[in-house]
Structure 1
Amino acid sequence: MAHRLLIRRISTFSAKNISCLRPSTTASSSSFSTSLQSASTRVSFLSPSRTLPRSLPHTSLREISFNVQDHEDFTDRVINSELPVLVDFHAQWCGPCKILGPRLEKAIAKQKGRVAMAKVDIDDHTDLAIEYGVSAVPTVIVIRGGDVVDHFVGIKDDDELDSFVSKIIGQ
C-alpha cells in the first residue's frame, strides 16, 4: 500500500514543480542548492498531515488470542501452554458465535495476559471438536495443564463472561 501511495504522489507531482528543481543555465551551484532547498520546502511528497502509515503495534489481544491451525498447533499452543486457555469452538455460519467471539476476546484482554484464547473453527477442525465432545456451537472449554477444567455451551453476557474468566484465573 505504501508503494501505491508513493507512486500516486509521484505521478501527481506536476511538471511545474519539477521545473523549479532544474537549475538555470546561468545559475551557480550554490544558487542551485538554494533553489533545491526552497523547492523541497515548498513541494513535499509527504506533508506532516499525510505521512505513510506505520506498522501497527502488537497488542496483548493479538498475542493471547489466536486461531488454531491444525492438531499439532493445538497441542503446542493449548495443551502445552503454561497459561489457562479458553478454547472457543465456533463456526462461520453460527450467529451466536459471531456475538460471543468478540465478547470473549474483550474479557480475555481485561486479564492482561493471565489467560489465553484459542479459536477453533469446527468445520476446519472436526477432529478436535469430536475429541472434546463438542455437539453444539458456540462451546467454550478451559484447558489448564492439558486437562479440561471448565466449559459452557451457548452465549453469555459480558458480566457472566468476566466472572467466568476470573474464576478460571483463581483456580
Structure 2
Amino acid sequence: MAYNRSDDDFSGLNDIPIPEDIVDQFGGSTDPIDLEDVHDDADTQTTIGATKQKARCWDHFELVPTGKIVNDLPEFKAQCKHCQEKFTWQKGIGTTHLNRHYKKCQYKYGSLDTNQAQLQFGYPGAGSSTLTLNNWIYSQELMRHEELPELIANVEFLLYLVDNPHWTKFVQKYL
C-alpha cells in the first residue's frame, strides 16, 4: 500500500492530556500552538543584497562603501581583512579574483586563522625598560634583504652552503 499524506489523521492530538509534571519539567504550556502565529526567523533576516554571500573568500573580505553612486546604486569595494587591499566588487561578477588574492595573501602572511593572532615581543631598547607585545606580519622583502644576509654574515655560513640542494629548496619555498 502506498503512503498517502492525506491518510494521516492528526486532528485528535490536541485532545491527548499531558501530565502536569512533564509540562512543569520543560517549562511548557498545555495550550495548543497556532501555526499561523509561528514565524521563521530566516524569513526576517536582513542582509546586504538579495542573498547572503556564500563563497569562502567572504570570511577574509568585507564590503566597504566607496561613496560613489553607479547606476543609482552605492558602489562597494571588497577589502581584505588581513592586508587591507581593496578590490572591485559588483553583485554577480564572481569572486575568482578575491579567492586568488586570499590564497596569495594566505601564502604571504602565513596561516590566516582569524581566531589566532601572531605576536612578536619587542625587547626594551637603550633607555627603555618596558617589554612590548606587537602583531607580527611576515615580510618577504625584510627577510630577503635584511634578515637573511645579516644571519649569513653573523653566523659566518660557509659559501658552499648555497650550493646545497636543501638550502636551495628552503630559499625557493620561503624566500
TM-score surpassing 0.5?
Answer: no
Which protein has the larger Cα radius of gyration, Structure 1 or Structure 2?
2
Bigger helix fraction: 1
Report the TM-score, using the length of structure 2 for normalisation.
Answer: 0.26
Report the TM-score, using the length of structure 1 for normalisation.
Answer: 0.26
Greater RCO (CA < 8 Å, at least 6 residues apart): 1
